[in-house]
Amino acid sequence: MHLYLYHKKMSKYPKDKTEEEWKVVLSEEEFRILRQQGTERPHTGTYTDHDKKGIYNCKGCDTPLFQSHQKFDSGCGWPSFDEAIEGAIEYRKDSSLGMARTEIICASCGGHLGHVFNDGPTNTGQRYCVNSVSLNFNTNIN
């Protein structure tokens, strides 16, 4: 119990959980991607070709991340967005795989979402390449 309280106090993410708590609420694949910085196989995700109107939320904590009008078809095999909802994403340098990339993380729970690249075709010039597994879709737009 004491260790749990220490973890909660030290986390910089308001909706963070312990590893054990995450394993209870996430599937094995969701845990691998959101908590262990995994990647789903290209062209396999639920939201890759999804074009409904609504909000894409973090699968880990339900924080709104992207609006449907920010989504575009990049042909890369993962859902792509040209910008995120302000304040929803944290950015971190990622030099894994021998290349310089920018990892995108949910600012509320610290969940890994994917990466952002500066090769987007819209006026923002951004391509947020996101794992479908790290998202939930909500058609309720207020």
CATH number at residue 45: 2.170.150.20
Number of compact structural domains in the chain: 1
Place of tokens 């094995």: 28
Q: Give pLDDT tens digits for 121-139.
A: 999 999 999 999 999 999 8
Please say if the pLDDT value at position 8 is more than 80.
Answer: no
Active site residue 61: no
pTM of the model: 0.88
Q: Give pLDDT tens digits for 10-35.
A: 568 999 999 999 999 999 999 999 99
Domain encompassing residue 103: 2-138
Q: Can you give the C-alpha Rg of the chain in angstroms?
A: 15
pLDDT at residue 117 in the model:
95
